Structure 1
Amino acid sequence: MTMTMIKPPAVEPVTLAEVRQFLRLDNDSEDVLLGGLIKAARETLEMQTGLALISQEWRLYPDSWPKNGIVRIAKYPVRSVVAVTAYIEDGTPVPIAGDDLHLSGYARPARLYLAARSRPALPLSGLEIDFVAGFGETGADVPEALRHAISTLVAHWYEFRGVYGSAQQPVSYPSAFERAVGLWRRVSL
């Protein structure tokens, strides 16, 4: 399975003002740096946990049509399915009706059930699923522990930015970040 982000989050889960307050900075002279660190910290957290913090749109390309009709979606939480498109042998797209879909978006992994009657003729790589994942539209919708983890990682990177070269980064993660991420990391066998 392959997933591609179609629409990134409109905002970050932690604002520049919140990070400046966390770092006890009184001016905005390093806002460009801090903005980059916030984005990098969010991306790191999302990559390590499989979470989508702020609403973002993704496209999933399953390798094949699921035998039991259930597609597992590794992002969490999945809020809605935007579109499901099947492709027949000549490459013609066929939209699958909403009546043929059932989403269990807050399960982890999320599960999308596709009714058997919607099955296309093309068995391999003939399916695209567009969905929205994330806790909500603003940072206020994101669990506080995850927002704190981002602020902690930003502070760590801000403080140690000149100690090690870029080839040696990241040297470490702060333990508060590791603990918060560990609570949300999905481990499977």
Structure 2
Amino acid sequence: MTRATMTPLAISPPAIEPVSLAEAKDFLRLLANDEDELLGTLVTAARLMVEAASGRMLINQSWRLVLDRWPAGGEIRLPFSPVGSIAAARVYDAGGSSQVVPLSSLALVAGTDPPLITVSGPVPAPGRERAAIEIDVVAGFGATRDTVPAPLRQAVLRLACRWFEHRGDVVSRDATQLPAEIAVLVAPFRRLKL
């Protein structure tokens, strides 16, 4: 039996960044507004880098998990955390029509890391070989900046400001590995693979 594949797809980004433009400008002691767009872009890029390095989504955002089939054991381990809720689920038949999966048939197991969804009730059988099941989830520590752990917020702030102050080569160097002073902030939250 071949293993079912899972593909995570971002549906919608967070409504806000974990670090505001004002916080970044204060940290850099910037008074002018002429580089706000650049700094805002760097904050977003820094959040994405910290999320990738830690395996944690910082501010609530919507993701879709696409599976070929239901797992044999009825357990779906998610590739990122934390996950706060299951928003919707559907199964596709051979003709491409979708059937809604009742949310009562799926359970997000509290306190698991990586997050775990279990099939806890009847679910429709997939009607096609690939990308037959979609499960939409909300991932993140919360909808506001104060729900994000302070070290992760600090990592985003410092990384964005580092890129702003040292434009050029530093960004391409940091793309392969977080700088040591930022990696130490992320390390306690990094999801380990055993």
TM-score (norm 1): 0.89
Q: 2:180 aligns with which of 175, 181, 188?
A: 175
Q: Which residue of 2 aligns with 1:141?
A: 147
Cα displacement (A) at 1:104: 1.8
Q: Secondary structure at the match of 1:107?
A: coil
Partners of 1:65 and 1:55 in 2: CA distance: 26
Partners of 1:121 and 1:63 in 2: CA distance: 8
| CA spacing shift, 1:55–1:157, aligned 2, 3 Å | same
Partners of 1:134 and 1:74 in 2: CA distance: 13
Q: Which residue of 1 aligns with 2:3?
A: none
Cα displacement (A) at 1:42: 0.3
| CA spacing shift, 1:119–1:158, aligned 2, 3 Å | same
Q: Secondary structure at the match of 1:161?
A: coil
Q: Do the aligned partners of 1:156 and 1:173 also contact (CA within 8 Å) in 2?
A: no
Q: Which residue of 1 aligns with 2:63?
A: 58
Aligned letter for 1:91? G
Q: Do the aligned partners of 1:82 and 1:130 also contact (CA within 8 Å) in 2?
A: yes
Structure 2 counterparts to residues 50-129 of structure 1, below 5 A: 50-104=55-109, 106-115=111-120, 117-122=122-127, 124=129, 125-129=131-135
Q: Which residue of 1 aligns with 2:25?
A: 20
Q: Which residue of 1 aligns with 2:8?
A: 3
Q: Which residue of 1 aligns with 2:37?
A: 32
CA-to-partner distance for each residue in 1:43-80, whole Å, 9 max, x for gaps?
11111222111111110012321101111111211011
Partners of 2:155 and 2:174 in 1: CA distance: 18
Partners of 1:169 and 1:175 in 2: CA distance: 10
Which residues of structure 2 form unaligned runs of 5+? 1-5
Q: Do the aligned partners of 1:86 and 1:95 also contact (CA within 8 Å) in 2?
A: yes
Partners of 1:92 and 1:8 in 2: CA distance: 27
Aligned letter for 1:96? V
Identity %: 38
Which residues of structure 1 form unaligned runs of 5+? none
- Over aligned residues, Cα RMSD in angstroms? 2.1
Partners of 1:112 and 1:167 in 2: CA distance: 37
TM-score (norm 2): 0.87
Count of matched residue positions in the alignment of Structure 1 and Structure 2:
188
Between stretches 10-19 and 176-185, larger displacement belongs to: 176-185
Q: Secondary structure at the match of 2:62?
A: strand
Between stretches 84-93 and 56-65, larger displacement belongs to: 84-93
Between stretches 6-15 and 168-177, larger displacement belongs to: 168-177
Q: Do the aligned partners of 1:62 and 1:127 also contact (CA within 8 Å) in 2?
A: yes
Cα displacement (A) at 1:100: 1.2
